[in-house]
Structure formats: structure tokens, C-alpha cells
Structure 1
Amino acid sequence: MVAVFNKQLLSWYLITLKLNQAVESGVYNTQAPSTSRSISCSESIQAQTPQNQQNGVEETGHSDEPRSKPVESEWIISIKEKLDQAQQDDVAGCWAKLSIYRIPQCLRDAGDDKAYIPQIVSLGPYHHNKRRLRNMDRHKWRALHYILKRTNQEIQLYLDAVKELEEKTRACYEGSFSLSSNEFVEMIVLDSCFILELFRGAAGGFTQLGYSRNDPIFAMRATMHLIQRDMIMLENQIPLFILDRLFGLQSDNPCLNGVVARLALGFFDPLTPTDEPLTKSDRSKLESTLANVSSFDPLTEQGGLHCLEVFRRNLLAIRTGPKPTPRMWIKRWSHADRVADKRRQQLIHCVTELKDSGIKFKKRKTDRFWDIRFKNGVLQVPRLLIHDGTKSLFLNLIAYEQCHLDCTNEITSYVIFMDNLIDSPEDVSYLHYCGIIEHWLGSDAEVADLFNRLCQEVVFDMNDSYLSKLSEQVNHYYDHRWNAWRASLKHRYFNNPWSIISFFAAVILLLLTLAQTFYTVYGFYWPHV
């Protein structure tokens, strides 16, 4: 009886031990497989232990595979997603409508970053919803409210119109931005109506539109000048076709192309870097000169992109002579060409050196600041007005010419030419004396520093400049030694009336001395009989 009981007890013990080993076999196999194999209670246990160990190894092996495969698959998936995005970006024509660019980092680092970033009002997606620019949002909503109240229209009309053009509008901007479809349409409608209200108010008066004469924004105060500077920046633009569409809805006339461009030119006129008034005779001469020249009208040309481009076209509206051909993209952004171009940006010498070589400077009577002429040793430069917004204007115009493929580089050529002329405050002072430069800055040194910093990190080839031929003529005149000698003589002996009198007195005295010497020698050898 005792033997049977011990046999049953031994059986239960073996079963319990086997179950325990089956459960813990995986742990034993990873920690101490040799220890589990050393247990020998019976042949069945010894046979079961290796099987459990094998199962444990297999389970462990299967558990290792999922740990490596997900890492590899996630890596491959991320690469495929990047390739899919590259394929979408490489769709034919996806870059064709691009016209509103982000300022390249190289230009930001070289210039003043504030010249590219709006300080009061944001337009478009690049600076949308920034904290320091949110104060203007309530005035944008006021402008939209006034428009709807004045036209007796519903907001849905404007939202639907922009919704139809959403894809085309998004294609005008560089890069991606985190705005949903509704948010993007709302932003475009709000910003566009604000722009149109400013244009119409500047042209016909804000009181005619229903605004109070002491309105904090819609009144011609100092704030308006800051708004104009922000609205001319490259990153702060709205496509012109959107403005035309919404202006047509307000006027119940969809065929008003060109009206917004004219309103924009009137609004941005205070930023024009010249205010040279032309007399009737000068204007008639200018018109007769350009009568047979095919002029460029920025308001009738097709494909107006945005206000900055319209403003630039107006500045270059009647430039004569052949236009440079558009540059290739690889030529513009290649690092090798960048270095070569930086070495070839020296078009001419500075004012002081040119003046010492006999070249004269004269103010040219024209309202086109870029129209520089050189004839018979006289460099005729139109008057340039420099104010606190000139730097931002030139930097954004240069950035646009650097970024847009189908854009020539007239503004860049002019700025680099002036940068070559101006090396020191003395150069600025002499140009101011000649009536060529008029500035509202603190000193001549600030003007010199402004031009010396405008074209840093700018890709430019002097052979692609409309001033390259003129620069060759100036350099040829400068290299002629006789011109330098004549200029030196004039500078030393003919710079004031007393020097002239002294010079002629010395010449007369020299002639009399020579005559006296001649007659003395003549009388010595051939005395009178």
C-alpha cells in the first residue's frame, strides 16, 4: 500500500516537474541551457527537456525575426515615400507657374534680413499667422466687412471664386505650407480684399469708401508707408490673377484686366527711387527719341504675376536697346559660376579714380534712374533718390531677378554699376554735389555702406549686363594716359581763377626769359656794326 502511494506521489511529482519545465524552458534556454539539461529524474524528463529546449530556441528565433524586419521595412517604406514625393515634384509643368519665391538663404545671410520679412502686415502663406503680425488681421476683417457692406454681396461669392483657382494659386508659391483647403482660401480672400481696399483708397480716397478720416490704418499716415514697404516684398505677394478676379466681382465686371495693375502702380509710387521732374521741353525730347522705339508697357503685357513684378516692369518700361537673353538655371546657381561671377563684377572704377582720369559726371534729366549714358568723357547719370525704403526695394527686386528664370537682370546690373562707382563717402559726396544722388539717410557713409552691401552673394555676369558696353567705353577712356595727364594738369593748375592767373603769369615770364636769352646770345655772336 505504501509502495503504491509512493508510486502515485512520484508520478504527480514528475508531471508537475514536466509542466514547470515546459513553461520555463524558454527562460532556461536563454539563461542556462546546460543547467536544465543536468536535471535527470527519469528518461522521459530527459527526453522532454531537449524537446522543450528546441522549442524554446525556435520560439526565440521566431521572436528575433520580427525585431529586425520592422526596422528594415520602415526604412524601405520611408525611401519609397521620398521617391514618390520626388516623382510628384517632377511632374511636367509643376514649376511653370512658380512666381512667388522664398528668399534664398545665401541672400538672407549676406543682406539685412528685415528687408525681406514684413514688419506690419503679412500677405500670402509664407508669413501667415505669425504672432507679431496678427494685429493687422482685425483690420483685414474690417476691410472685408466694408466691401461686403458696400457691394451688398455675400462672402460665399468670393470664397467660391478663390476655391476654383486654389490649385493654380498654390502653384505660384514655392515649397509646401501646412494650410488646409478652407484655411488657404480664407487667407487668400482676406488678404486680397485688404490689398484691393488699400489700392482703391489710395487712388480715390478712403473717405469715399466709408472709412473715417482718423482711421488708424486706412488713412494716409506714416503707417501707410510701412505697409507699402511690406507689400512690395517678394515673400509677401498675392498672384495678380486673384486680385483681378476679386476686383471684377466687386465691380460686377469680370473683364477688367490691367486696372489692378494701374492701381498698384499708383499705390507704390512713393517707393520709386527717383522724383526727377521733367519740363515740357525735356519730356517732348524724350518722347521724340522714343517715338520709333518699341516700348514695353507693363499694363498691356500678358502674364502679370504679382505687384512686385508689375512695379519692376514699370521701372523698366521704356528701356531702349537690346534686352539680354534669359539666363540658364544651371548658370545661375552653379557654385563655380558664382565664384567666377563674383570676380567679374567690377564693371568700372570708382568716382574718385574716374574723376582723376578726366571723366566728368553730369546729372541726366530723365525720370528713368537706370538710363545711364557716356559720351565725350562725360558720364551722365540720372538722379537717384535714396530713402529708408530704398534698401528693401532694391534687395527684393534683386532677389526676384535672381530667382525667376524668365527675368532679366537690369536692376541687378544698375545696382552693381553704382556699387562700383561708390567706394567711399567721398564718392557719395561728389555725386551729391553733381546732383546725381539725393538721400534722406544720416550721412554719406550710410549711403556708401548701403550700396556696398546690396549685391553680396549675388550671381552676376558683366557680359549679361545692359551696361557692359558703356563700361567698356568708360574703361577705354580711363586707360588712355593722355586723358589722365590732361586731367592732372587741369586739377593742379586750372582748379581756381588764381591758379589760372599764376599759370599764365608763369608762362609769360618764361617766354620773356627765353626772348631775353635769345637776344643776348644773338647780340654776342652777331654784334651790330
Structure 2
Amino acid sequence: MSPNSSTNFDEHRWIINIRKTLEEELEDDNEVPVCIFSVPKSLMTSCPDSYIPQQVAIGPYHCWLPELHEMERYKIAAAKRTRKQLQTLKFEGIVDHLIKLELKIRACYHKFLDFSNETLAWMMAIDASFMLEFLQIYAVKEGMTITRVSSSMSHLVDYAGRKSAHNAILRDMVMLENQIPLFVLRKMLEAQLSSLELADDTLLSMVVGFCKEVSPFRLTQEIPKIHVSQCAHLLDCLYETIVPQTEANPDDPEIIEDKDLSEEMKDKEGSPGDSGIWKLVAKLKKCPIHLLKRLVFSRPVRVILKIPWMILSNLPVFSILKQPVEYLFFSQENENRAGNENPNNSEINAPPLAEEIAIPCVAELFESGVRFLPTSGNILSIMFDVKTVTLYLPTVSLDVNTEVVLRNLVAYEASNASGPLVFTRYTELMNGIIDTEEDVRLLREQGIILNRLKSDEEAANLWNGMTKSIRLTKVPFLDKTIEDVNEYYNGRWKVKVGKFMKHRVFGSWQILTFLAALLILLLLTMQVICSVYRWFRIFRFKTT
């Protein structure tokens, strides 16, 4: 066949696919959303091995990679065992049904699939057979009674039982580009079992067991209910268990406290100072030290102190202390004024700047008095308690599969989510507070990190390697946590003095030059005094 004839054949097949797609859209207005995306190039280039399957290809994106052909015989063997289990429908019948769902399957993929409808259907049937046989291992672990578990499944179990191969398959199955639609698995199970309801129950058991196995977070018994009929694919199920879609909790202690304070302030409306000092005094009835600190550094007190300071700072003696005093007491007010003057900050929904992600590392926070405690919830339970100076973080388990899981969850969220990138923001937070193995050690001792890697240094490198992000986003509860932590840390006197010495003293060549000149002047003065004293002693000795 000549190259021209091959090209004409591809064009003819492309025209047929386009025509069928247009006809399908006219018949069905319910558009199938894209759910299996290509990994963005900015992420792919940073760590390709985390996104390209290394052991088994699932779906059309990597099916022809020669290095993955070894697993094809296991996939074919799984398809043969599935064929034997079918009761009322032949394996070819499932393929025929998948051919009818061809356009729905194609619609799930972001890339154009250059396969014939028959090739795509056979690929889905074989890959689904392999996945279901592998996932049955986790369904048995969950205690689900499966009526049609093949006795020949031991071949795959033995293969997957090898630890390295087992982990490799697990990693490949969570990769974004290595997914097939979940409704294909449902259709395969429905053909093996007696009803769709039993198929959904069985698939749910498999998915929950799989998510518990690969999730880096501790999934409790109260994990969000997964609806297999609504989930897009296996990675989507994992994402839903880790980042459930929940509303803000009205019972949050801080919200309740704010409500109580606001109600208390209502009784004081009309009093001469209810917009200033009196509000702060009213708060002192409830509290202790942290509100007293707010009172001392509040704007009304700053204004009262600033008026006499503006007069004193112009005097010769006080002018020397002008810079350090204004930095320690009025620096935050100047920063807020500068932020208000910036027109870019007028947009409430504007994405945060890269500098706003900055947060002290665990060692620095620990040294400044911050406690770290694990939570029993998911990443939505992250918060900083100002009263007890405690940062609550979910327990995360790090093993050989964790990096691939984290990276693909980030890639999926960035590609699929139109709203806030909650999980991405969490990884940025962890990347911000973990710099060295010392930070990992502190979190490990507090039970926040369960490190199953070779060393704490390897765990630190894992978090520090996840620096690539698709886009910046606002995540209210995480942004508030970061803001509260930074506000506490930057409010410490030790930190303020250290920053002043670093930026205004050691970072200023003028001051360093002045200090050097002053030191030389002192040395010269001492030399002159010593010389005069020595000559005076000599002169006095001679006169006597």
C-alpha cells in the first residue's frame, strides 16, 4: 500500500468518526464531560516517570509502548478467565455493546483517539477484565463476598504478590493518562453477575479497598460515600475520598466565637467609642492574653502612640531610634496601607501572588512555640488554633507509591477542576513548611508523617520536589491557616528583631559602612587615649 493510500484511509476513517460524533450529538443533548486528560507539559517535564506507566498500560494513551508488552499476556489471560465466567452473554457480546458506546467512550478522553471503533472496544474489554481481576484482591480484603471469583485468579495474585510488581501496578493504576471510564467496568461486572445493583455493590467494594490501599491519608470508616455510577474513573474515586465536596462548617469554634462577640457588641451600639477602644475592652472580658496582645498592637493604640512619636522622632536624640522603632511597631500598618494603595488588591477574587504562599518551616515554627497535632479527618480539617498556638494537619503516610499518587491527584485536579485547587494548595502548604529532614523528623515525632521511606531526607525531597503548579488559586480555609500562622510568627519579638537585623542592618551597606567607620573611630580613640596615658606616665616618672 502506498503512503498516499494510507493517508487517504486515515482521512476516510477520521471523516467517518466526525460524522458519527455529530450525529450522536444531534440525537443526545447530554454531553459527556472529558475526564481522562493529558498531563500538562509543565508537570510532565518535571517527573515523567510519575505520569507514564512503567508496568501496565490501561486505556489507549500508552497501549503501544514496547516496554509494556510483557504485561499483555497477563491481560489476555484475564480476558480468557472473564470469558469463562460469563453466563448469559459471550465476551464478543460485551465487545459489541462497547462498540455501541464508542462515542461515549471517546468523549471521556481529552486526546483524539486514532483507533477504529472495534479496536477501541476490544481494548476496553481486555483492560477492564484485567483491572477487575486485580481489584478483586481488595474487594476480598474489604470482606465483600464475590460470587464469581475465578479460581485461576491465583496467577495474577502471585504476580502481583511480588512486592515490587504489585506496587508498580498500583502506581500505574492511579496515573491520570492510564484510566478507562468506570462505566466500562460496570458493564463488565453486570455481564458477570446477576444484576446491575450487585455489580455496583461489588465494584464499590473493590474501589473502596483500592482507595484505602493507595491513599496517603488515613481513611476512616466515615469516608465519603462513593457513587460508582457517578464517578468518572478510578483516580476520580480516589480524589473524591481525599477531597470531599463539603460546605463550610457553621459549628466551627472560631465562627461561634465571632458570632458571640458580634452579639455582645450590639448592646454597645451608640456608645461614644464603639468603633475603637471600647470594642477591644469588651473583648478583654472573654479573654486572656491573645486579645490583650491585639489591644496593644491594634490600630487605635498605634494612632495614639504615633502622635507623640512623630514629635519625638524629629528630636536629635530620638532620630537615631526612628527606623528600628517604626519597623517594630508600625511596619504592619505600613504594609497594610501599601496593600490598600495597590490597585491589584482591590479585586477580592484575584489569585494570590507567589509570595503569599511563603510560610516558615516546621523547625522555625516549632522554635517560636507552635505545636503540631494530627487530625483524624481529611485535608479539610487543616486549621491553626490561635488560642493554643496549634497547627492541625492530617496524618499522611509516605511510601514508594506516595509521590506518584500525589502528583497525579494534582494533575487531575488542575485539569478537571474549575474551582479552587484544594489538594494542590495542600501540597504547596506542605512544601512550604518542609525544607529539611529536621522538619520531617519533627512532624514524624508528632504523628503527622508516617515515614516508610528510607530516610527523613528522602521524605523532605519528596515534598520539595513538588514545586510545579498549574495556576495559583484561592482556597479560603487553607489561605486563612497560612495567614494566621504567618501573623503569629511575624508578631513574635524575636522574629521582628531578627528580621530587622537581617534586612535593615546586615542587609544595608550604608549601615555596615557606618558601623565599620564607628568601629575604626573607636579604635583610633582608644589608641590616642592609650598613647596619651603612656606619655603621661613617662612624664610623671621623670619629674619625680
For the aligned pair, the TM-score class normalised by the smaller chain equals 0.5 to 0.7
Cα gap change, 1:341 to 1:137, in 2 (>3 Å):
farther
Contact 2:383 2:481 in 1 (8 A): yes
Q: Is the 8 A contact 1:232 1:393 kept in 2?
A: yes
Instruction: Supply the distance in 2 between the matched residues of 1:404 and 1:297 (Cα, whole angstroms).
Output: 20
Q: Which one-letter code corresponds to 1:236 in the other structure?
A: N
Match of 2:212 in 1: 269
Q: Quote how far apart the aligned CAs of 1:434 are.
A: 2.0
TM-score by length of 1: 0.63
Q: CA deviation at 1:369?
A: 5.2
Alpha-carbon shift at residue 189 of structure 1 (Å) = 0.7
Could you tell me whether the CA contact under 8 Å between 1:273 and 1:385 is conserved in 2? Answer: yes
1:480 paired residue number: 491
Structure 1 residues 371, 380: CA separation in 2 closer, same or farther (over 3 Å shift)?
same
Q: Are the equivalent residues in 2 in contact too, given 1:370–1:414 (CA < 8 A)? A: no
Letter in 2 for 1:357: S
Q: Following superposition of structure 1 onto structure 2, how do residues 410-425 of structure 1 map, counting pairs within 5 Å?
A: 410-425=422-437
Equivalent pair of 2:36/2:109 in contact (CA under 8 Å): yes
- Cα distance in 2 for partners of 1:179, 1:318 equals 36
1:241 aligns with 2:183: yes
Q: Distance in 2 between matches of 1:239 and 1:258?
A: 17
CA distance in 2, matches of 1:356, 1:483: 11
Per-residue deviation, 1:322: 6.6
Which deviations, in whole Å up to 9, do the C-alpha atoms of 1:94-152 show, x marking residues without a partner? 9852110011111112x211000111110111001211111111111111111121234
Answer yes or no: is the 8 Å Cα contact 1:234–1:308 preserved in 2: yes
1:222-254 alpha-carbon deviations (Å, 9 max, x no partner): 122221110111001011111111211111313
SS of 2:152's partner is: coil
1:299 equivalenced with 2:227 (yes/no): yes
> Is contact 1:350–1:420 with CA below 8 Å preserved after alignment?
yes
Residue 374 of structure 1 aligns with an amino acid whose one-letter code is F
Identical-residue share of aligned pairs (%): 28
Aligned partner of 2:365 among 344, 354, 361 = 354
Is the 8 Å Cα contact of residues 36 and 108 (structure 2) preserved in structure 1?
yes
Assess if the C-alpha contact under 8 Å between 1:401 and 1:408 holds in 2. no
- Equivalent in the alignment of 1:124: 59
**Who is 2:241 aligned against?**
314
The farther-off stretch of 264-273 and 339-348 is 339-348
CA deviation string 1:246-294 (max 9, x = no partner):
2111113134446424312212422121348x8xxxx8xxx8xxxxxxx
Q: 1:203 aligns with which of 139, 150, 157?
A: 139
Aligned pairs, number: 370
Alpha-carbon contact 2:39-2:51 (below 8 Å) kept: yes
Aligned to 2:337: none
2:177 is paired with a residue whose SS is: helix
* Correspondence for 1:163: 99
Q: Distance in 1 between matches of 2:231 and 2:374?
A: 33
* CA distance 1:213–1:186, change in 2 (3 Å): closer
My pick for the range that moved more, 205-214 or 419-428, is: 205-214
Partner of 2:173: 231
Unaligned runs of 5+ in 1: 1-80, 288-294, 324-338, 487-529
- Partner Cα separation in structure 1 for residue 246 and residue 76 of structure 2: 41
Match of 2:126 in 1: 190
Please, which runs of 5 or more residues in structure 2 have no aligned partner? 1-14, 251-349, 498-544
Using the TM superposition, give the Cα deviation of residue 444 of structure 1 relative to its aligned residue in structure 2, in angstroms. Answer: 2.1
Note the C-alpha offset of 1:192: 0.9
Provide the residue aligned with 2:382 in structure 1.
Answer: 372
Is the contact between residue 59 and residue 124 of structure 2 (CA under 8 Å) also seen in structure 1?
yes
Contact in 2 for aligned 1:213/1:219 (Cα 8 Å): no
Closer, same or farther in 2 for the Cα pair 1:225/1:474, shift >3 Å? same
1:202 Cα deviation after fit: 3.3
CA distance in 1, matches of 2:226, 2:158: 29
Change (3 A) 1:458 1:122: same
What is residue 441 of structure 1 aligned with on the other side?
453
Kindly provide the CA deviation profile for residues 159-195 of structure 1, in whole angstroms up to 9, marking residues without a partner as x: 1221121100001001213211111111011111111
Amino acid aligned to 2:226: P
C-alpha change, 1:119 and 1:177, in structure 2 (3 Å) is: same
Residue in 1 aligned with 2:472? 460
Residue aligning to 2:438: 426
Partner of 1:48: none
Aligned CA distance change for structure 1 residues 213 and 141 (closer, same or farther; 3 Å): closer
Cα distance in 2 for partners of 1:390, 1:219 equals 18
Report the counterpart of residue 11 of structure 1 in structure 2.
none
Deviations 1:326-364 (A, max 9, x none): xxxxxxxxxxxxx97562451532112222332122233
**What is the alpha-carbon distance in structure 1 between the residues aligned to residue 149 and residue 104 of structure 2?**
34
Counterpart CA distance in 2 for 1:451 and 1:410 is 16
CA contact 1:369–1:383 (8 Å) conserved in 2: no
Mapped pair 1:176 → 2:112? yes
Aligned letter for 2:99? K
Contact 1:143 1:193 in 2 (8 A): yes
CA distance in structure 2 between the aligned counterparts of 1:165 and 1:214, rounded to whole angstroms: 31
User: Map of 1:123-162 to 2, 5 A cutoff?
Assistant: 123-152=58-87, 153-162=89-98
- Which residue is 1:101 aligned to? 37
